[in-house]
């Protein structure tokens, strides 16, 4: 609760309850408020077990300049302690690419058109 000091043995709040504007939230979890740095330090041994940074909400928009109708997006809730590797795995799963190898992707030129002449196609493939 943020309407009273998070230190259970705070004497300030019982003598003259602080208004909610004078309370400062824990900078890590942002869920518990304290009337002073002293109260926060005193409460830390019991608070630290439950004190966890909130997740980041990350929105990914795949090729926003090219894929627009409809746009392809995913919104992930990412733990604050996650490393890039874990975020990468989560993205692969969110987009359905978890079992796709990187060499299975191809860069497609949207302006490319197959030639009308079949011989041109055959000659181009021979040249590869």
pLDDT one-digit tens code per residue, 46-76:
999 999 988 989 999 988 999 899 999 999 9
DSSP per-residue letters across 52-110: -PPPEEEEEEESTTT-BTTBEEEEEEE-TT--HHHHHHHHHHHTT-TT--GGG-----T
3-state secondary structure of 25: strand
Q: What pTM value is reported for the model?
A: 0.50
**pLDDT 10s digits, 93-125:** 998 888 877 666 676 777 877 778 888 878 877
Cβ proximity of 99 and 66 under 8 Å: no
Tally Cβ neighbours within 10 Å of residue 60: 15
């Amino acid at each position: 609760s943020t309407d009273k000091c998070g230190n259970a043995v705070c004497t300030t709040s019982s003598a003259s309850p602080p208004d909610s504007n004078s309370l400062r939230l824990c900078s890590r979890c942002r869920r518990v408020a304290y009337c002073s740095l002293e109260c926060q330090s005193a409460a830390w041994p019991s608070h630290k077990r439950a004190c966890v940074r909130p997740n980041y909400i990350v929105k990914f928009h795949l090729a926003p300049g090219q894929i627009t109708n409809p746009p392809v997006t995913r919104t992930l809730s990412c733990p604050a302690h996650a490393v890039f590797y874990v975020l990468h795995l989560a993205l692969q799963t969110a987009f359905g690419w978890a079992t796709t190898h990187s060499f299975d992707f191809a860069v497609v030129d949207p302006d490319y058109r197959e030639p009308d002449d079949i011989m041109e196609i055959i000659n181009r493939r021979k040249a590869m």
